[in-house]
Amino acid sequence: MAALSSWSNFKNTGMLLVRIGLGVMFIMHGYPKLLGGPKLWEGVGGAMGEIGITFLPLVWGLLAALAETLGGLFFLIGFFFRPVALTMAFTMLIASLHHLGAGDGLKGASHAIEMGIVFLGFAFIGPGKYSVDKR
């Protein structure tokens, strides 16, 4: 469609919009987990059992809550972007495996799978021009 072809000049703006939207949503998703305390962290960290890691679920749960909250913030502003994107992709991998292992099926795991793909793609693409890590 020729009328929208000039929008390709705004790729960095589009990437910024996606980063802001996903960053805000992950902050909102992770912050309650961060505030949930040790009991919630232990439950969240138990998902690491899906890959055979059964020790220190409290620590893994806290790390997942931090990954979603601080990772969302860093993703939003484009700070330590590629390591954060890979961390978020890993977090979504574990969430996907947890949903599948719990019998939620593909429909229950689809959000985590989709977000993992998005974060992995962004790890390759980078943050774009409008970021703290701009190049």
Reply yes or no on whether the pLDDT at 126 is more than 80.
yes
CB 54 within 8 A of CB 48: yes
- Express each pLDDT in 46-91 by its tens digit: 999 988 999 999 999 999 999 999 999 999 999 999 999 999 999 9
Residue type, 114: E
pLDDT of residue 135: 61
Average pLDDT in the 99-116 region?
94
Alpha-carbon distances of 93 from 39, 75, 104, rounded to whole Å: 22, 17, 15
* Mean pLDDT, all residues of the chain: 93
pLDDT of residue 1: 63
pLDDT of residue 61: 95
